[in-house]
Amino acid sequence: MKMSFERCTARNKMFVNSAFTKVDNYCTFLMKKVLFKVLFLIEYYQKGKKNDLNF
């Protein structure tokens, strides 16, 4: 009885850990997406500024 209970809790811990890892990966993916967009906008804005200075 005790062994099966321990095995069950271990399995639950593994499941929770994997779920947290998935959430963590998703959050980092979203952050990377946002950061990439921000960097792209800054780059685009600076290029636009340079072009304005050339005219």
pTM of the model: 0.46
- 46 versus 54: the higher-pLDDT residue is 46
- CA pair distance 42, 16, nearest whole angstrom: 39
Give the pLDDT confidence of 8-22 residue by residue, as tens digits: 777 878 888 888 888
Number of domains in the chain: 1
- CA pair distance 38, 45, nearest whole angstrom: 10
- CA pair distance 44, 51, nearest whole angstrom: 11
What pLDDT was estimated at residue 12? 79
What pLDDT was estimated at residue 4? 66
Domain of residue 32 covers 1-54
| Alpha carbon distances (Å) from 46 to 22, 37, 51, 53, 55 | 36, 14, 9, 11, 15
